[in-house]
Structure 1
């Protein structure tokens, strides 16, 4: 299944996937070793992206998301949503696509759960709509 998905990627998407693969490794290590201090210097969660974005930017962001998702599936490291979202955010911003990282905590269940995702304009990239119903967004101050 993974090989078939890889083969269906365009050349550009394969380049994004390999770039994501190596970036995931670096982000994972920074999160593990430097923890909150590194995240605070790299991320500004108070920044919101209100700019109108075109459908081409959202389509490109979705393609990059698929490349990051596949890179994470092929990776030997255990990767959760936070490192994947940080890598996707970095790649999109490098491409000039206005994106922001969103963090949320569950609002219905009694056990703690959290989730990270990337948003371009008002569109959640690669996330089902029920994410907004399940998680309430938190802000970093």
Structure 2
């Protein structure tokens, strides 16, 4: 089993939007970075753990716990000329961009960046590394356990 941190801008898809979707499941569309795509395409498996992270907002942070709910499949937005994620170079017979479905299991308090950074046990968490801008990053099992502990603590 693997663990992931997946960033979404709340205006695009928030944790509340995902919870309101059928089966609390949304397709993770719009990934246009090869490394993030490769994580989904080559490494994600159904039931892998996901930390749902709001980015590009007033207080970025982890706002939910989710799971990978599908195997990878072509992102349909790459073929839609009306989509901001349209990629005219991608062809249906050889799609460039993939996605997985993500099912939110529970909404959490916002575990914001300052609190993540303040925890010495999380100093190597990829999302905290200087210059990291990937929308999908792997999470070490020890980091996963520590974050879940922090989210479950009564604060």
Q: Which structure dedicates a bigger proportion of its chain to helix?
A: 1
- Per the normalisation by structure 2, the TM-score is 0.23
- Per the normalisation by structure 1, the TM-score is 0.25
